[in-house]
Structures are given as C-alpha cells and as structure tokens.
Amino acid sequence: MDRGFNNVIIESDSTIAIGLVEHDISPLHPYAPLIKKIRQFQNIDWTIAFHHTLREGNECADWLAKKGATSDVSLKIWHSCPPQLSNVLIADASGVARLRA
C-alpha cells in the first residue's frame, strides 16, 4: 500500500496455504499469528485475491518458495526485485511456458 498498489493478486502453488487463509483455523495453529496478519490485510480498503497456480505457471512464486525454504531468515521483505529473480520475472510476465517435471 505504501507503494501505491491497491489491486493485489497473491499466487501460490500450495492449495493448503490458500485454504489456511480462506477458511477458519484454530487459534492454536502454529501459523495462526501469520494467518491473522494476512487476514488483516484483507480488511484494508484495497482489492486482494488469492489464486492457486501450478509451479510451472508462476516460476517467480516457485523461486521465492525455494529461496524461503533455504533461508535462515524467518521473514524477508524485498522492496524491489532481487537481481537473481529478474530473468524469471521477465519470463513469467511474457507468458513463457515451462514444462512440468
């Protein structure tokens, strides 16, 4: 929002993650605080949508997920595209297809 974005689409290849955000969960769930914060973002005056995508349909999401899984940092916020992700972003934006492995 600070950067003027008011129509945000969040894509994930994890139907489980999307389900956690879209459905009620126990307050004792290990990710309950994070899910609560995500839901607070949904209540702000903007448009936010969650979509499932295959890994092959969004290589950027796949790259970010792999980067996060191997990171020692619990939360990383980039304010611009990481240089290592630039080519992947261009390919996704151009609609370059990737075969399923």
* SS3 state of residue 96: coil
The pLDDT-based confidence of 18 (bands split at 50, 70, 90) is very high
Alpha-carbon gap, residue 52 to 10, rounded angstroms: 9
Question: What pLDDT shows up at residue 100?
Answer: 63
Question: H helices of the chain, where?
Answer: 15-22, 32-42, 59-69, 86-94
Report the residue count for the chain: 101
Report pLDDT digits (tens) over 61-92: 788 888 888 989 888 888 888 888 888 888 87
pLDDT at 99 (0 to 100): 66
Model pTM score = 0.59
The structure tokens listed for 51 are 């979509």
Statement: residue 101 has pLDDT above 70: no
Please give the structure tokens belonging to residue 16: 């489980």
Q: Give the whole-number percent of the chain exceeding pLDDT 70.
A: 94
For residue 62 the two structure tokens come to 């796949």
